[in-house]
């Protein structure tokens, strides 16, 4: 008779000692990283029940870890399907092919549209799970920032906790320049170079997350430059001063010139018009990153070429 726990790596008690790379990380994020294949809901249930112990005591999901912390992880029953579930080789290869910059500190990819940055909300796997599966011996790999699932372009990952914290501090100080290419409805006025409108997240009764301009929201600033005008649309370069969820999409909607192909914040008739030009996705692309390297201090500029499907739309409009 076969042992049901034979293929379950989480069948017995495990003890983890927190190393320097993970100092300051939240306990829940640490567990999500090391318990690959365990559903997120299962991990939060273990935390809620106090079955995960840190230094022999109960700990909340948002507890920040310190070097030397001893984490006790109880036995976890995982269905074979869940335990063996991992990002497929096709996703892993797409991610490898998308790398545009890599050194000992950072990994930057030209993220394809349609791939989430991480699993959740109906998506089993994203960029971070794909790279961790592709590089099982990597000591550390974390997202520095995020992109919407439908947005393509420059996405940065850190290879150490120290690098992650340094780059994120630089972002908060507006020392990392993030440029985007966006195609919007109508003729954008050159004088409309900055939109300063606070944004607030709302959740609809359906559970869908929406962002709105709201005076009680977080400060949000986007800078716009016209690159090219077409008969019914404008190509813009957008520089973010803040990095709020859906910021460019909501700011352009607020200006009554939404992004082409945006099913959530866009204009349906404009989207249909662009679909006739071959556009089947959101026309928003994180085109360039400029920053000081966290280790060497060198000025780094990384550019992600416009994907071929977006280039084809531009050619059709021209």
Tell me if 218 sits within 8 A of 244, measured CB to CB.
Answer: yes
Q: Is 298 an active-site residue?
A: no
Strand order, beta sheet including 70-73: 14-17, 70-73, 53-54, 57-58
Provide the b/e sequence for 12-48 (b: ≥16 CB within 10 Å). Answer: eeeebebeebbbebebbebbbbebbbbbeeebeebbe
β-strands 284-292, 152-158 pairing: parallel
Taking the C-alpha atoms of residue 293 and residue 128, their distance in angstroms, rounded to an integer, is 21
Give the DSSP H or E segment for 70: strand 70-73
Q: Kindly name the residue from 5, 28, 97, 148 that is annotated as catalytic.
A: 148
**Nearest one of 136, 43, 124 to 87, comparing CA atoms:** 124
Residues catalogued as catalytic: 148
């Amino acid at each position: 008779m076969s042992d049901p726990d034979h293929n379950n790596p989480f069948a017995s008690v495990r003890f983890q000692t927190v190393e320097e790379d993970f100092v300051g990380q939240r306990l829940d994020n640490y567990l999500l990283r090391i318990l690959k294949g365990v559903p997120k809901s299962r991990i939060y249930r273990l935390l809620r029940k106090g079955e995960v112990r840190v230094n022999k005591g109960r700990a909340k999901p948002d507890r920040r870890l310190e070097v030397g912390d001893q984490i006790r992880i109880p036995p976890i029953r995982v269905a074979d399907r869940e335990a063996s579930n991992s990002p497929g080789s096709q996703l892993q290869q797409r991610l490898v092919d998308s790398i545009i910059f890599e050194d000992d500190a950072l990994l930057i990819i030209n993220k394809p549209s349609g791939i989430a940055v991480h699993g959740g909300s109906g998506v089993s796997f994203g960029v971070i799970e794909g790279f961790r599966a592709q590089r099982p011996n990597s000591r550390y790999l974390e997202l520095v920032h995020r992109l919407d699932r439908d947005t393509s372009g420059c996405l940065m990952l850190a290879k150490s906790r120290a690098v992650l914290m340094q780059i994120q501090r630089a972002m908060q100080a507006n020392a990392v320049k993030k440029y985007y290419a966006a195609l919007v409805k109508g003729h954008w006025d050159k004088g409309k170079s900055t939109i300063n409108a606070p944004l607030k997240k709302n959740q609809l009764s359906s559970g869908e997350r929406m962002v709105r301009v709201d005076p009680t929201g977080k400060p949000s600033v986007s800078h716009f430059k016209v690159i090219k005008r077409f008969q019914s649309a404008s190509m813009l370069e957008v520089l973010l001063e803040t990095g709020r969820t859906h910021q460019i999409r909501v700011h352009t909607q607020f200006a009554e010139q939404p992004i082409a192909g945006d099913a959530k914040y866009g204009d349906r008739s404009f989207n249909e018009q662009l679909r006739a030009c071959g556009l089947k996705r959101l026309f928003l692309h994180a085109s360039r990153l400029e920053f000081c390297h966290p280790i060497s201090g060198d000025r780094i500029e990384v550019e992600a070429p416009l994907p071929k499907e977006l280039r084809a739309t531009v050619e059709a409009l021209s």
